[in-house]
Structure formats: C-alpha cells, structure tokens
Structure 1
Amino acid sequence: MATKTTLNSKNLEALGAERLAELLIEVSTGDAAMKRRLRLELAGAASPAEAAREVRKRLASIARGRTFIDWQKRRAFVADIATQRRAIVDQIAPGDPGEALDLLWQFLSLAGPVYDRCDDSSGAIGDEFRAACVDLGAIAQVVGPDPERLAERTFDAICANDYGQYDDLIALLAPALGPKGLDHLKARVMDLARTPVATPPDREREKIGWATSGPIYADQIARSRHDSTVQLALEAIADAQGDVDGFIAQKTDKAKT
C-alpha cells in the first residue's frame, strides 16, 4: 500500500498548485531540458499557436546544432525530440492540424543534419523519425492538403532519403495523396528515371573507396542511389494504386539488378 511519501500523482496533488510550482522552479534551475519542457507546457496551455511557436523555435535550434551526439548524450536527445513530436501531435494538431502538418515536415527535415552528427547504434533516434512519418500520414488525412503540392513535398523527401527515414513515406501518405497525388508523384519519379546521373571524365572521377573489383567512385554510389530511389518509389506507388502488374514489374526489375 502506498504511503503519503510515495511519489505519485495523488500525493503530489496534496501539496497544492503553489507549492508544486515552487518545486518545479527549483528543480528546473540549471536544467535546460526541464525548462524547455515547462515552457512548452505553458505554451500549450495558452494556445496551439503558442505551442507551435515554441516547437518551431526548438526545431530550428536543433537544426543549427553542431555538437556530436554520442551514446552518452543520445538518451537526452531522444527525449528532447520525442517531446517536440508529441507536442505537435497532442497539443497542436487537435486545434490546428495544418500547422501541425507543417511542423512535422520541419521535424522530418532534421533527419539528415541529426544523423550526420549522431551515434544511433541503438536505433532510438531513427524510431522517432519513423514515428513522425506515421504521424504525418495521419494528420495529412485530417488536413486534406492539395494533392499535387503534397506529391511535390513527398518527392523532395524521398530524394533526400539518405538514412532511410522516408522508406515508408509513400505508403503512409497514399490515403492523403489520393489518385491525383499518386499520379503526380509517379510522373515526377518517371522524370527522375529519365534523368540519369552523369559520369564525369575519368580524370575528374572521385574515388571514395576500394572493393575487390577495384576503386569505388562517387558517381557510382550516386547512380546506385538514384536507381534505388526510382525503383522503390515506383514500387510503393504501384502498391498504393493497386497496380499489380506495375508492382510485379518493379520487383522483377529489382531482381535483375
């Protein structure tokens, strides 16, 4: 049986709002993460617009960050971005889903800069970006954005899928894209397929590694990534459109490569 000194919600409520406020100010002194959390809670209580302002400011700060996030800092960083994501979904989306959708795109744009300066051997950071993609799909259905504009944003995202953060994006956004958006996205991907990566003259090729078969060049990696982006996108679009023949064709082409 819990005693009166057990740390739980009921016992803390007995302290009263004034004393709890004093304690929060005391424990947050010198703790930047706690202060951010409290400011975010206050903003959320004020209005979705105030919460959005706090989240946008924090996301911009993370984007500017240069410090390497090693395993010792990873847990606090994951908690930070998880707090921002949950604020978007729980505090902002119910009152202003359009603003929440835009903030989720901003959140997802952090993936590249963050992965460039972190050790995510645990996969915890990646889990937050994948969760944001799921949130994006759900909120996009509520907002109902222009399908062609959404397709353009989706296309830009899959072309920047350097760390696999957007692997499931097309499937998740398919309901919001609808037939018109999926057709537009397919046309953009087909245009990309017809724009192959150029091979520079031999003397200008950049060696980035070696394999048993010889040197590995930057343009080889770029070409492989380009082809993979096209193939996986067309496969996901065919699946979303219920195009069995198109889906099988992409699987067959993939097996040949």
Structure 2
Amino acid sequence: MSRRKSGRSTVAQRHNGFNRALVFLIDWPALARAAQVVLDRADEVDGDRYEVLTPAADALQEKHPLAATLLRRALIDFALDRARVKRYRHAARNFQQCKSAATVIEDFGRFDTHETFERRLKSKHGRKSAFWERVGE
C-alpha cells in the first residue's frame, strides 16, 4: 500500500463519524483497518444503520469474524431492544451467523463469547417468541 493510501485509511480510522470511517475502509478496501475500527470503537456502533452494518459485516466475515460479529450483534440488539418485529427475520439470520462465526473466533478479548451473548439475549428478550422461533428455523 502506498504511503498516501495508508495515510488516508489512518485518517479514516480516526474519523469522528464511525459509520463514515467504516464505509470508507470497507470500500477502500482496507478490511484489516475496518475490523480494527470496529474493535476499537464497538461502543459507537449504531444498530439502526443496517444499510452500513450489513454489507460491512459481510465483507469482514471471512477474515475478521469477531468484527463482523460485533456489527451483527448491534443489529440484533437494536431490533430486539426496540421491538422492531419487521427486523426479527434479519436479526435471527444475524444471530445464526454470529453462532457460526463463534466456532472460528479463537479469542473474544474484551467482548462476550457467543454463549454469554445468547444468555444475555434470552434473559432480556426471552419472551420475544417471534425472534426465537426464527432463530430455531
């Protein structure tokens, strides 16, 4: 990577707008840097931004499954926390993708394992049968 390109992606990593930085790095593509932005700024992920998070998670899934998982978890949390029933089908698919990715993630670091994430969801949203039925499909 040229020095100029490297400098642009470094600026993007530090950009105030998480979504803009993520989109830039995914489009570049600078996937390792995009993944690092997700890991470093996970608390800034807005689960309502499915139009940004879904393609980013898809792009990161193969080589950066933890970062993809964190984006998918944000989508799931948003849908369930706000009872966005129309998004439950997508949330269930994201949940299954997180479960699958957990088998290849060696270290979750400071983030919850899939089992811990699932327990939290069941504790907080166990009565949302429309979601859990879709997870079981």
Relative to the length of structure 1, the TM-score reads 0.32
Question: 1:157 Cα shift?
Answer: 1.8
SS at match of 1:180: helix
Counterpart residue number, 1:99: 40
* Bigger Rg, which one: 1
Q: What's the RMSD between the two structures over aligned residues?
A: 4.5
Indicate whether 1:233 and 2:131 are aligned: yes
Output one character per residue of 1:165-203: Cα deviation in whole Å (capped at 9) or x when no partner.
64522112223442232222222211xx2xxxxxxxxxx
Q: Give distance in 1, aligned partners of 2:133 and 2:23.
A: 31
**Residue-by-residue CA offset, 1:80-107 (whole Å, 9 max, x unaligned):** x96464358626236555137566x34x
Does residue 1:130 correspond to 2:130, yes or no?
no
1:214-229 maps to which residues of 2 (within 5 A)?
none
1:188 aligns with 2:112: no
Q: Which residue of 2 aligns with 1:56?
A: 17
Q: How far apart are the structure 2 equivalents of 1:88 and 1:100?
A: 19
2:67 pairs with 1:158: no
Between the aligned partners of 2:60 and 2:124, the Cα distance in structure 1 is: 21
The one-letter code of the counterpart of 2:48 is: S
Number of aligned positions between the proteins: 118
Distance across 2 between alignment mates of 1:179 and 1:82 = 29
Q: Which residue of 2 aligns with 1:169?
A: 94
Note if contact 2:18-2:41 (Cα within 8 Å) is conserved in structure 1: no
Amino acid at match of 1:132: A
Deviations 1:20-68 (A, max 9, x none): xxxxxxxxxxxxxxxxxxxxx95x51275422233726649xxxxxxxx
CA–CA distance in structure 2, aligned partners of residues 136 and 167 of structure 1: 19
The answer on whether the counterparts of 2:9 and 2:33 sit within 8 Å (CA) in structure 1 is yes
In structure 1, stretches of 5+ residues that fail to align are: 1-40, 61-80, 112-125, 194-229, 240-246, 248-257
> Contact 2:26 / 2:34 at 8 angstroms: preserved in 1?
no
Distance 1:134 1:143, change over 3 A: closer
Structure 2 equivalent of residue 64 of structure 1: none
> Where do 1:6-25 residues align within 5 Å?
none
Query: What TM-score does the superposition give when structure 2 sets the normalisation length?
Result: 0.50
SS at match of 1:168: helix
